[in-house]
């Protein structure tokens, strides 16, 4: 994987977690700067390590500022501005899942990471990941059906 794809994956991951473009850009930049400071080169990067750095920076951001919940007014504005209603429904269903479930679904289905990469980034075995992923997908499916 080239560096540009890695940057895009880390940015998507961070943006999904913080829901703010500017903050996501800052955290993504900081992720790569910390990686570079630790390793001294970007030529031999490890995507699992980048996810770990990004995850920790997102946690730091959440400790600093609590996110505001989505209100009905924001939902109406988003729908009137051309954002598909299905997208809003998926975001609402995802918001009802735990942070860990959202993270696993994001890494697997949005970023397309394999189980080994996700497991190492989260510090769990592949088999534990498969169980958690299946349970998270089931909870998401139930939320969307409701």
23 to 100, 110, 143: CA distances (angstroms): 20, 19, 28
* Sequential pLDDT tens for the chain (146 residues): 577 888 899 999 999 888 889 999 999 999 988 887 776 666 666 788 888 899 999 988 888 866 555 555 544 544 445 556 677 788 888 888 888 888 888 888 888 888 888 888 888 888 898 999 999 999 988 988 87
Domain boundaries, the chain: 1-68, 84-146
Alpha helices in the chain (DSSP H): 3-18, 21-39, 47-64, 72-80, 85-95, 99-105, 115-122, 126-145
CATH class of 1-68: mainly alpha
* Pairwise CA distance, residues 24 & 142, whole Å: 29
84-146: which CATH architecture? Orthogonal Bundle (1.10)
Residue 8 φ/ψ, nearest 5 degrees: -60, -40
Domains 1-68 and 84-146 share a fold: no
Measure CA of the first residue to CA of the last residue in the chain; give whole Å.
Answer: 39
pLDDT of residue 29: 93
pTM comes to 0.61
């Amino acid at each position: 994987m080239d560096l540009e794809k890695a940057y895009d994956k880390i940015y998507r991951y961070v943006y999904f977690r913080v829901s703010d473009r500017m903050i996501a850009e800052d955290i993504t930049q900081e992720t790569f700067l910390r990686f570079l400071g630790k390793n001294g080169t970007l030529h031999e990067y490890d995507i699992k390590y980048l996810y770990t750095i990004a995850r920790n920076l997102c946690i730091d951001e959440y400790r600093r500022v609590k996110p505001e919940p989505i209100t009905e007014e924001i939902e109406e504005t988003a729908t009137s501005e051309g954002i598909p209603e299905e997208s809003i429904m998926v975001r609402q269903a995802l918001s009802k899942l735990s942070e860990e479930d959202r993270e696993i679904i994001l890494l697997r289905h949005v970023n397309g990471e394999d189980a080994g990469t996700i497991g190492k980034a989260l510090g769990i075995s592949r088999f534990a990941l498969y169980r958690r992923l299946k349970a998270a997908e089931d909870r998401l499916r139930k939320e969307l059906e409701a």
